[in-house]
């Protein structure tokens, strides 16, 4: 680690090119030469619907563009499924369920799911590049987190498929039938894996709609489903917009619907399905608190808070978008946080050194800008990363708001961008009250040296996940889901499987 005003002594790339070595002030960014990932994402110019095991054109003949948010270039055309196509997908799924998938022993289903996991691992780098191009997330995240974790979900659930008698001890379980699923754009492939793997292991068939801005890796996974020999119709993928999503959620054939997305759309779906006998799970928004006490390992906590909000540009439902910091250390902590934030690299998502990539879409960038404007108007103090942003594409500077009070909108509303609101507290009870003072309840983080305090906080925080002295850690064995307006139902672990079966 360079110290204050240390002169940079070795910088191989620059030396090799004979450029003068700049003076390094602590907190400044080392200048690296570009290091873009070069693996071929093997994109097609046009992606069709995936229905009944085949790629088929949309009945309307309509396609929409998927663009690269890092430079606004068009990547591919995506087929737009309408009600007729969604209907065809449900017919194919019901047929596969009745004739093949439901009857197949779990140990046989497991083989297909293992194959999917292995094929995804084989093509991991290709998928990582495609994910980064389509969604804007840094390659090091799609390469080291999204794709391996998606494969891990398939492996984990393959392991369950022949052990379903242990999902609900003392009870037998049975699949539900055809399930309809809709997913968001922040973890396109990973959310797909979270949805497909448990449903398949349990013996259900699927109709799923990816988000309109990020359909490519879902349709690439369809290639893997074909290569794995998955029986036709077991999984059907119908890209499109909100109207396609509504058709998937509202279809009469769906025995269960699983939705991940905003609380706003989740409520629309719940309203429209009220009175039906469809089973439902909702994974919705969040406004998590990362709570740092004065006895916390400070540098570790700084790293955790940075990771909690700036990971994936803050496009994370469980992002630690509120920092609750103990008053005695607030000043020091904020100073360290700003120093750490200044050395984050913002820019080309394909560059292996990039920490913060592109905002997923123009619309999302507009939402972030609007809410940050509200924060400024409400009188919070703003500190932004001083970096230069690329001239094309959708980017937003990592931002920290201090002097935030609980009544500020930036402390209450989900911004879904790289924006942290800092609030202070004096006592444990005040921290719990402030953390719980939100309509959401998806996750929280606690940083302290005291085990007893961790236990108390994790009991009293109304959040589906509470991380202690770490943040944003995921594992397929661990159930994930919300309280209050963050939704209901769990994904992952034994609990996640229970949401895809009936007890008989
Ligand atoms: P969104 O606007 O709610 O969209 C989610 C999905 O629903 C998209 O595929 C969307 O299609 C579709 N959709 C839109 N209107 C619909 C309707 N009336 N009926 C059925 N489907 C409809 O959310 P988003 O902006 O994509 O994602 C961000 C949100 O997801 C955040 O609030 C985040 O917290 C939440 N999220 C939650 C979790 C969790 O596990 N709890 C995980 C990830 C994200 P289009 O793409 O065409 O709009
Ligand atoms: Mg895109």
Per-residue pLDDT tens over the stretch 115-125 = 999 999 999 99
Q: Provide mean pLDDT across the span 270-295.
A: 97
CA-nearest residue, atom 9 of ligand 1:
211
Cα–Cα distance, 344 to 138 (Å, whole number): 12
Which residue puts its alpha carbon closest to atom 15 of ligand 1?
242
> Is pLDDT at 9 greater than 60 in this prediction?
no
Which ligand has its closest atom nearest to the C-alpha of 135?
2
Phi, psi of 384 (to 5 degrees): -120, 150
Which residue among 205, 212, 317, 485 is the active-site one?
Answer: 317
What SS3 state is found at 245? helix
Task: Compute how many other C-beta atoms are within 10 angstroms of the C-beta atom of residue 392.
Answer: 12
283 CA: nearest ligand 1 atom: 41
Q: Nearest CA to 394 among 360, 367, 350, 418?
A: 360
pLDDT at position 156 is 98
Indicate the DSSP class of residue 378. Answer: T
Rounded Cα–Cα distance for residues 50 and 72 (Å) = 26
Determine the average pLDDT of the residues in 444-448. 98
The whole-number pLDDT of residue 27 equals: 52
384-407 confidence digits (pLDDT tens): 998 889 999 999 999 999 999 999
Residue 302's φ and ψ, nearest 5 degrees, are: -60, -45
In this structure, CATH architecture of domain 46-284+486-503? 3-Layer(aba) Sandwich (3.40)
Which residue from 193, 171, 237, 202 is spatially nearest to 104, judged by alpha carbons?
202
Q: How far is the CA of 212 from the centre of ligand 1 (A)?
A: 10
Q: What is the pLDDT of residues 50-83, one digit of tens each?
A: 999 999 999 999 999 999 999 999 999 999 999 9
Report whether pLDDT(475) > 60. Answer: yes
Tens-place pLDDT, residues 268-277: 999 999 999 9
Q: Kindly report, residue by residue over 167-225, the tens digit of the pLDDT.
A: 999 999 999 999 999 999 999 999 999 999 999 999 999 999 999 999 999 999 999 99
- Share the mean pLDDT of the chain: 94
How would residue 30 be classed by pLDDT, with cut points 50, 70 and 90?
confident
Q: Please answer whether residues 330 and 361 qualify as being in contact, where contact means their C-beta atoms are separated by less than 8 angstroms.
A: no
DSSP 186-224: SSHHHHHHHHHHHHHHHT-EEEEE--TT--HHHHHHHHH
Mean pLDDT across 251-280: 97
Q: What's the pLDDT at 32? A: 87
Which band of pLDDT confidence, cut at 50, 70 and 90, is reported for residue 442?
A: very high
Q: Does the active-site annotation cover 205?
A: no
pLDDT of residue 6 exceeding 50, the answer is no
Beta-strand pair 279-283/487-488: antiparallel
The yes-or-no verdict on residue 311 having pLDDT over 90 is yes
The confidence score (pLDDT) of residue 23 equals 47
pLDDT at 31: 81
Domain map (residue ranges) of the chain:
1-31, 46-284+486-503, 289-475
* pLDDT surpassing 50 at residue 8: no
The per-residue pLDDT for range 126-177, each reduced to its tens digit, is 999 999 999 999 999 999 999 999 999 999 999 999 999 999 999 999 999 9
User: Which of 239, 259, 261 best tests ligand 1's pocket when mutated (most atoms within 8 Å of CB)?
Assistant: 261
Nearest to 301 by CA among 470, 465, 472: 470
Between the CA of 213 and the centroid of ligand 2 the distance, in Å, is 4
- Residue nearest (by alpha carbon) to ligand 1 atom 21: 245
* pLDDT score of 16: 41
Residues of the chain above pLDDT 90, percent: 93
Architecture of domain 289-475 in this structure = 3-Layer(aba) Sandwich (3.40)
Q: Residue 426's pLDDT band (boundaries 50, 70, 90)? A: very high
Reply yes or no on whether the pLDDT at 480 is more than 50.
yes
Protein residues whose CB sits closer than 6 Å to any atom of ligand 1: 182-186, 209, 211-212, 241-242, 245-246, 249, 260-262, 265, 268-269, 283-286, 317, 414, 416, 442, 482, 486-487
pLDDT at residue 12 tops 50: no
Q: Is 317 a catalytic residue?
A: yes
| The pLDDT of residue 90 | 99
The Cα–Cα gap between 82 and 169 comes to 42
Ligand 1 mean position, distance from CA 433 (Å): 29
**For 85-127, how does the pLDDT look when each residue is reduced to its tens digit (9 = 90+)?**
999 999 999 999 999 999 999 999 999 999 999 999 999 999 9
- Which residues are CB-contacts of 307 (< 8 A; sequence separation ≥ 6)? 471, 472
Per the model's pLDDT, the better-predicted residue between 488 and 19 turns out to be 488
pLDDT at 28: 63
Residue 151, exposed/middle/buried by CB under 10 A (0-12, 13-18, 19+)?
buried
User: Residue 360 — pLDDT band, cuts 50, 70, 90?
Assistant: very high
pLDDT of 386 reads: 87
């Amino acid at each position: 680690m360079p110290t204050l005003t240390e002169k940079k002594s070795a910088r191989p790339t620059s030396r090799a090119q004979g450029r003068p070595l700049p003076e390094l002030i602590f907190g400044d960014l080392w200048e690296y030469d570009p290091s873009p990932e070069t693996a071929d994402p093997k994109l097609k110019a046009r992606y069709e619907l995936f229905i009944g095991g085949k790629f088929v054109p949309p009945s309307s003949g309509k396609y929409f563009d998927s663009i690269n948010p890092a430079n606004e270039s068009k990547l591919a055309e995506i087929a737009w499924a309408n009600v007729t196509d969604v209907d065809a997908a449900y017919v194919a799924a019901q047929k596969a369920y009745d004739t093949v998938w439901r009857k197949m022993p779990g140990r046989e289903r497991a083989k297909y799911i293992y194959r999917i996991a292995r094929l995804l691992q084989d093509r991991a780098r290709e998928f990582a590049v495609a994910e980064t191009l389509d969604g804007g997330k840094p390659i090091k995240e799609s390469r080291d987190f999204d794709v391996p974790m998606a494969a891990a979900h398939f492996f984990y659930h393959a392991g369950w498929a022949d052990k379903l008698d242990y999902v609900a001890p003392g009870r037998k379980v049975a699949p539900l039938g055809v399930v309809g699923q809709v997913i968001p754009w922040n973890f396109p492939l990973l959310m797909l894996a979270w949805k497909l793997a448990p449903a398949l292991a349990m013996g259900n068939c699927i109709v799923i709609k990816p988000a309109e801005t990020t359909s490519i890796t879902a349709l690439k996974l369809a290639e893997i489903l074909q290569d794995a020999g998955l029986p036709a119709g077991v999984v059907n993928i119908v890209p499109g917009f909100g109207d396609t999503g509504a058709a998937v959620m509202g279809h009469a054939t769906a025995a269960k619907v699983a939705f991940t997305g905003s609380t706003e759309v989740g409520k629309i779906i719940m309203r429209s399905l009220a009175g039906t006998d469809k089973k439902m799970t909702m994974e919705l928004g969040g406004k998590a608190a990362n709570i740092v006490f004065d006895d916390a390992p400070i540098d570790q906590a700084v790293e955790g808070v940075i990771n909690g909000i700036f990971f994936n540009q803050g496009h994370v439902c469980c992002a630690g978008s509120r920092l609750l910091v103990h008053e005695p250390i607030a000043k020091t902590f904020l100073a360290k946080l700003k120093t750490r934030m200044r050395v984050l690299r913002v820019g080309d998502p394909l560059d292996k050194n990039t920490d913060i990539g592109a905002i997923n879409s123009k619309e999302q960038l507009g939402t972030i800008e609007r809410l940050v404007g509200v924060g400024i108007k409400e009188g919070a103090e703003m500190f932004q990363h001083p970096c230069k942003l690329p001239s094309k594409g959708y980017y937003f500077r990592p931002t920290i708001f201090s002097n935030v009070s609980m009544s500020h909108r930036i402390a209450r509303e989900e911004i879904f961008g790289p924006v942290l609101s800092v609030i202070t507290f004096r006592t444990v009870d005040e921290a719990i009250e402030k953390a719980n003072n939100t309509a959401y309840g998806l996750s929280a983080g606690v940083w302290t040296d005291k085990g007893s305090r961790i236990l108390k906080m994790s009991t009293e925080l109304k959040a589906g996940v509470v991380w202690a002295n770490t943040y944003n850690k995921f594992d397929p064995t661990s159930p994930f889901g919300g309280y209050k307006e963050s939704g209901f139902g769990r994904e992952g672990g034994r609990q996640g499987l229970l949401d895809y079966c009936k007890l008989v």
